[in-house]
Amino acid sequence: MDSVHNYVWHDPVWQQLWQQPERLPHALLLHGPAGTGKRRFARAVAARILCQRPAADGYACGQCASCHWLEQDAHPDFFLLSPDSGEDESAEGDKPQKRKSAWINVEQVRNLVELTALSKHQGGWRVVIVEPAEQLNLNAANALLKTLEEPSERTLFLLVTARLNRVMPTIRSRCLKLALPAPGPSQAEAWLRERGLGNSAALLHEAGGAPLLALELAEPAYREQADWLLQALGKGPAMDALQVAEKLQDMPIASCVDIVQKWLFDLLRTRLVKAGHFYPDYANNLQALVKSVNLSRLSTLLDTAQRIRRAAYHPLNARLVQEELLLGYQALFQADS
Ligand SMILES: [Zn+2]
């Protein structure tokens, strides 16, 4: 069963962790780049701790009652603390979109403390995954801190983050930090090829080296829109911003901003160091465009993209934002008047 295993590039850390299982701390802070499998690692640790008959290879057996409960998200001694999901009432149109609140709040931590006090159904371990750990708001972090300072017996906290420096220092200091590395390029490419992706090198560039993200970027529905947008951006001043916005009105604004932002980075890098980073397949396009790009407008537009990106959780009119970004892009190639 896949869900009880970690990814192969985390094997050395996994082995190291279980060398002295009796000395496992009560709180582990798992950190590493986004899109590289930290969540899977945390689940595998939880499964192994809760499993009634761990296998000889060190993993959970995937067969016992405990493993089945965990698989079905119904384990009485397993708890997940992550931002609440709810309806986004600000969504446009008649289909409300699921929207995640960005934060873990104090009520969630209090509920967790009450629940863990009542649990121990199996008389064994309890495991709590906190993810993403940097999204505990101040009150929630303080409430969790109390629990971490006075750990109950046989309770393991697994905190997961891709932004270690945003986790509150007081929380960090109560945990054993465990760095989960990203795979090297050849290992990541091989892993993607095993999943049937032929253009794995280009996808990995696009994903900044994160294989799980690369896999998402290969999804046909995403790919079709992304390639269409990239080709449009490749036209530079000849791109029709409003037509592109019209065509991409179903594309999530976050994906659109992500692509435009990476494209702008590549333009900047091509200008400064003669080579892009995210879109090597478009190197010729970028080389041609960079000759007529206005550098100060490019830098302003990168700021705009960053601002839009940060606002991703706020209600905004996606179409207007898209148009602002694409019209800004077109203006990069216009002569100063
Ligand atoms: Zn098991």
pLDDT above 60: residue 241: yes
Residue 67 Cα to ligand 1 middle (Å) = 4
Rounded Cα distance between 194 and 125, Å, is 36
Q: Give me the pLDDT at residue 123, please.
A: 67
- CATH top class, domain 2-179: alpha beta
Q: Which of 179, 146, 176, 152 is nearest to 23 (CA)?
A: 176
Token pair listed for 32: 């590493």
Residue 38 Cα to ligand 1 middle (Å) = 21
Mean pLDDT across the stretch 176-188? 95
Say if residue 252 is preceded by a cis peptide, omega within 30 of 0: no
Q: Give me the pLDDT at residue 174, please.
A: 95
Higher pLDDT pick, 88 / 310 = 310
Confidence of residue 193 (pLDDT cuts 50, 70, 90): very high
Whether 283 and 202 have beta carbons less than 8 Å apart is answered as: no
Whether 121 and 154 have beta carbons less than 8 Å apart is answered as: no
Confidence of residue 171 (pLDDT cuts 50, 70, 90): very high
Contacts of range 265-272, beta carbons closer than 8 Å, 24 or more positions apart: 265/302, 267/293, 267/298, 267/332, 268/298, 268/299, 268/302, 271/295, 271/298
Task: Give the environment of ion ligand 1: residues with CB less than 5 A.
Answer: 51, 60-61, 64, 67
Q: Give me the pLDDT at residue 94, please.
A: 44
Residue 63 Cα to ligand 1 middle (Å) = 5
Whether 24 and 156 have beta carbons less than 8 Å apart is answered as: yes
Q: How far is CA 290 from CA 267, 269, 274, 298, in A?
A: 6, 10, 10, 10
Q: Give me the pLDDT at residue 48, please.
A: 95
Mean pLDDT across the stretch 141-156? 90
Residue 110 Cα to ligand 1 middle (Å) = 29
Q: Give me the pLDDT at residue 88, please.
A: 42
Mean pLDDT across the stretch 195-216? 92
Q: Calculate what percentage of the chain has a pLDDT beyond 90.
A: 72
pLDDT above 80: residue 3: no
Q: Give me the pLDDT at residue 316, please.
A: 59
Q: Give me the pLDDT at residue 115, please.
A: 85
Lowest mean pLDDT among 58-67, 148-157, 291-300: 148-157
Residue 51 Cα to ligand 1 middle (Å) = 4
Residue 52 Cα to ligand 1 middle (Å) = 5
Domain extent listing, the chain: 2-179, 219-331
Q: Calculate what percentage of the chain has a pLDDT beyond 70.
A: 91
Residue 55 Cα to ligand 1 middle (Å) = 8
Confidence of residue 100 (pLDDT cuts 50, 70, 90): low
Residue 113 Cα to ligand 1 middle (Å) = 25
pLDDT above 80: residue 121: no
| Tens-digit pLDDT profile for residues 86-96 | 444 444 444 44
Mean pLDDT estimate for the chain: 89
Whether 130 and 82 have beta carbons less than 8 Å apart is answered as: yes
Residue 50 Cα to ligand 1 middle (Å) = 7
Whether 240 and 273 have beta carbons less than 8 Å apart is answered as: no
Q: How far is CA 213 from CA 36, 85, 134, in A?
A: 8, 22, 20
Residue 158 Cα to ligand 1 middle (Å) = 19
Mean pLDDT across the stretch 228-236? 96
Residue 127 Cα to ligand 1 middle (Å) = 15
| Tens-digit pLDDT profile for residues 60-70 | 999 999 999 99
Look up tokens 């009520």; give the residue: 107
pLDDT above 70: residue 268: yes
Q: Give me the pLDDT at residue 56, please.
A: 81
Mean pLDDT across the stretch 8-23? 90
